[in-house]
Chains A and B, each alone.
With several copies, the nearest count.
Chain A
Amino acid sequence: MDFLRRARGERFRPVEQQALEQLPDDVWHKCLGCRELLYEKDFEANLHVCPRCGHHHRLTVSQRIESLADPGTFAETDHELRSLDPLGFTIRDRRYLDRLREAEESAGVPEAVVSGTASLDGRPISLAVMVMEYLGGAVGSVAGEKITRTVERACDEQRALIIVSQSGGMRMHEGLFSLMQMAKSSAALARLERAHLPYISIIADQTYGGATASWVALGDIIIAEPGARVGFSGPRVLQAIKIRLPEETQKAEFMLQHGMVDLIIPRPQLRATVSALLRHLTSHCSARKAAPAPKRRRITVRSTEARE
């Protein structure tokens, strides 16, 4: 398993395949934060967080799902959705459809979102995880559709919603279809809000653009991983419009300081925190189940004598 290349997003293969190819010289990895050499088993056990400097390296989508869902409960949904090329988009004779095929091959998954149902400490969840390795997590019709269906499934099946986001922005190859995913997913989240179901939005490193400005920002609780880069315009857009933001700006810590993010949670504590939050935000459900809500009536607890 070539971890370093994978971490840089150059290449990604499913865990199983990686395991087969694992070679002796791969058991040590250099931390991207502090350059320390880390023993792979410890590194994996610590969810790709450097035990020395705390740098959070990217998780594969299956590791991410495993880190959140109860073992064996994840059932993938909408795996069969595939992008089309509605605009016949080519860049110097390079077709978008070819680009998609390459992305699928290199990422090991067929879209920038993997979605499904699972449970977390026994509570039913609807889960979507974004995949940076697939076209930089760029959001097109299918990614938007999968997010939207994940939200709708939460509504329809009374599940809590969890979305782990990382995205370079909107997928330009699908033009305005991509932009419309912001509206589509926000509309679904508005429905979830009206249903009073909880949504925990988790920000992994590098979350930009349309994702940030729709589902990422609309969590009841928003959690970021330490050091995660998050913002509106991604670095390549900023470069194109010739804007340089100070280093610290588009960071989880900056967003926490400015009131946008509820919590920064190191990955090893993430699952427990999400579980506790879900317990709180769904506690009224169990209360309701335990005893049917009594009819509301107007009474005054305190004596009116004491009042005047």
Chain B
Amino acid sequence: MNRHVTELEFERGLADIRTALERLEKAEAKGGPDVVAQANKVRASYDQALTEIYRDLTPWQRVLISRHPQRPRFLDYVATLFPDFIELHGDRHFGDDGAIVGGLATFADRSVMLVGEQKGRSTKENITRNFGMPHPEGYRKAERLMRTAGKFDLPIISFIDTSGASALQDDEARGVSWAIAECLKTQANLHVPIIAVVISEGMSGGAIAIAMGNRVLMLEHAVYSVIAPEACASQLWRDVSAAPEAAAAMQVSASQLLQLGLIDRVIPEPIGGAHRDPEVAAQYVQAALREEFSLLANEGLDWTTHRYEHYRHLGRMELLMDGSQTTGNGRH
């Protein structure tokens, strides 16, 4: 576990223990059994503190974790889980967006098409990746690669990590809404299975655009939301500082969304979050994907129909009967 990550506001309590531990660990190598014992004790209390902090996170705290600068990105998972990944570039129309990466790889002895949203880490990379906010050509690249996957009968795994699609003038001019809509329609039409994994931030149309999976997975501390909590707060609370309330009200965390039937599986994270142990996080993702794969591979499903039914039933509503209200749902 890497304890040298940027600590978030709500992890403030860790700093003292960590500092003490760092001092002890320096002494540990040449110190006697006393020092080792004490170091072990402090280590245990660090782990304890971390476990307690992460036992009961608020949705807003998860929003902050999902945006943690050291949180593993799509390409970090690719490096670990898909070592033979061949990146394929371009939308064949306009450009090669850095905020969406895609290509071919092998997983569980099967060829798969990967598509994922990619944030940067350095300033330079953030510019290349547009801070993980895809341009229209990114969605068009994703759509093209998904169609290629459909043509060659390859399952698709998509990784979602975006604060939203890019929404500047050029994006409007190149039809960001159109690109997202086409992406959705293409996924709806595909006869291959799609597994979507929300790995960190899944915000708004920019997230659902590539997340129309037959199975939708989320990392434990990832968030998935109709809109960024800040934007929700600013509109409904008329106060951007109400973002934590907005995050709570919109139920953006994985466990809540599983409860609501909006996602299919929560992938656990190591204690202290994926960014404290990216290796273990990748193993958990791998294990979950393997399970999903054995599920998918064994079924001779009509994935198009399966996907239709999957999304067809999302929504909660009631039917008004004879003037009196009867609780029901929207299925027919």
Contact = CB atoms under 8 A, between A and B. Distances in A.
A199 B66 CA distance: 39
B312 A84 contact: no
B10 to A, nearest CB: 23
Contacts of A193: 151, 185, 189
Nearest to A303: B261
B90 A295 contact: no
Contacts of A228: none
A231 B89 contact: no
Interface string B306-327: 1111111111111111000101
B125 interface: no
B80 interface: no
B250 interface: yes
A179 B231 contact: no
A307 B314 contact: yes
Interface stretch (B50-58, B233-241, B272-280): B233-241
Contacts of B172: 231-232, 245, 249-250, 254-255, 258
A90 B188 contact: no
A91 interface: yes
B65 interface: no
Contacts of A297: 300-302
Contacts of B87: 263
B110 interface: yes
B250 A260 contact: no
A68 interface: no
B152 A221 contact: no
Chain B CB count within 10 A is highest, among A149, A216, A249, for A249
Given A176-B251, A307-B313, A241 B257 contact: no
A308 B331 contact: yes
Interface stretch (A53-61, A123-131, A137-145): A137-145
Contacts, number: 325
B contact face: mostly helix, strand, loop, or mixed: mixed
A210 interface: yes
Nearest to B163: A241
Contact of A259 (B91, B189, B306): B91
Given A90-B249, A172-B250, A217-B175, A80 B90 contact: no
Contacts of B178: 213, 217, 260
B96 A144 contact: no
Chain B CB count within 10 A is highest, among A249, A254, A259, A302, for A259
Nearest to A90: B249
Interface in A233-277: 233, 236-241, 243, 245-246, 249-250, 254-263, 273, 276-277
A259 B249 contact: no
Given A82-B317, A231-B172, A300 B181 contact: no
B237 to A, nearest CB: 6
Nearest to B330: A145
Contact of A172 (B182, B235, B301, B327): B235
Interface stretch (A2-10, A18-26, A41-49, A278-286): A278-286
Given A80-B321, A233-B167, A263-B88, A186 B307 contact: no
Nearest to A215: B181
B315 A254 contact: no
Nearest to B260: A86
B152 A198 contact: yes
Contacts of A32: none
B22 interface: no
A233 B212 CA distance: 21
Chain B CB count within 10 A is highest, among A184, A243, A249, for A184
A257 B177 contact: no
Interface of A: 80-84, 86-87, 89-92, 110, 140-142, 144-145, 148-149, 169-184, 186-191, 193-194, 196, 198, 209-210, 212-218, 220-221, 231-233, 236-241, 243, 245-246, 249-250, 254-263, 273, 276-277, 279-284, 287, 293-302, 304, 306-308
A-B interface, 10 closest residue pairs, ranked by CB to CB distance from nearest: A294-B300, A259-B90, A284-B153, A141-B315, A190-B188, A186-B184, A217-B181, A283-B111, A240-B234, A180-B314
